[in-house]
Amino acid sequence: MKRLVIIEDQTAIREMLAEILRTDASIKIVGESGDGQSAYQLCMDTKPDVIVLDAKLPGLNGVDLLRRLNKVLTNLRVLVFSGHENPVLVREMLEAGAHGFVEKTAGLFEFKKGLETVANGGTYFGPAVAALLRNVVANPGASASSDFLTDREREILQLVAESYSTKEIATKLGISVKTVDNHRTNLMRKLDLHDVASLTRYALEIGLIEQKRSP
């Protein structure tokens, strides 16, 4: 029986997936989380065999969470289940250690098929992601990414784009305000972007944050 953690920030989707998977005798759900930071600790505590991972998470995005998990849980199997698929995001997820990526528009049949395949040692891509990967192979320039940013700069970029102040970021990351300012200055210089709106647009483009929904 595979031990599974579901990491999804939308409560309704997370609960729906849990309800569906509880009927699967080959899977035991050992935890659920809607936040990147708490998801990391949950996985450290429960040591799952498989995780279902959303790409867009508050606090710590899916790519950076996966990078951290794979440094410790070397046998972890990962299926990304996301409503957002673009060349940068898919490539970064695969490089971080994902074994499959199914878009939410593909439906539950594709999700279950993908999870079964990944849990049993294979790789699986939903139809839209598979088409996107074919396009990336044909047009390699389409997958340019943010790899030239450090992990800390990516963290700060996400938090800036999520509207945290410099002081709040310093508190959240346990570093000084001056250190945050230095990282922020460096990432602005690297990206040649000089205001919060531009940084937010860039974070959206590379999949660090999710577009805010209208109420």
Residues 131-181 pLDDT 10s? 877 776 655 554 445 556 778 888 888 898 888 899 999 998 999 999 999
- Higher-confidence residue of 105 and 144: namely 105
Pick the CATH number of 151-205 from 3.40.462.10, 1.25.10.10, 3.40.50.300, 1.10.10.10: 1.10.10.10
Q: Provide the pLDDT for residue 52.
A: 97
Mean pLDDT across the chain, nearest whole number? Answer: 86
Interatomic CA distance for residues 178 and 157, integer angstroms: 16
Given pLDDT bands bounded at 50, 70 and 90, which one contains residue 198? confident
Given pLDDT bands bounded at 50, 70 and 90, which one contains residue 87? confident
Phi, psi of 79 (to 5 degrees): -110, 120
Number of neighbouring beta carbons within 10 Å of residue 77 = 23
| CB-based contact 206:145 (threshold 8 Å) | yes
Q: Provide the pLDDT for residue 111.
A: 94
- Higher-confidence residue of 169 and 197: namely 169
- Domain range annotation of the chain: 2-141, 151-205
**Predicted TM-score of the model (pTM):** 0.69
Q: Provide the pLDDT for residue 140.
A: 52
* 27-33, strands of its sheet edge to edge: 27-33, 2-7, 50-53, 77-82, 100-103, 124-125
| CB-based contact 160:169 (threshold 8 Å) | yes
Pick the CATH number of 2-141 from 3.40.1110.10, 2.102.10.10, 2.60.120.380, 3.40.50.2300: 3.40.50.2300
Residues 41-81 pLDDT 10s? 999 999 999 999 998 888 788 988 999 999 999 899 999 99
Buried b (16+ CB within 10 A) or exposed e, 88-111: bbbbbbbebbbbbbbbbebeeebb
Q: Averaged over 24-35, what is the pLDDT?
A: 95
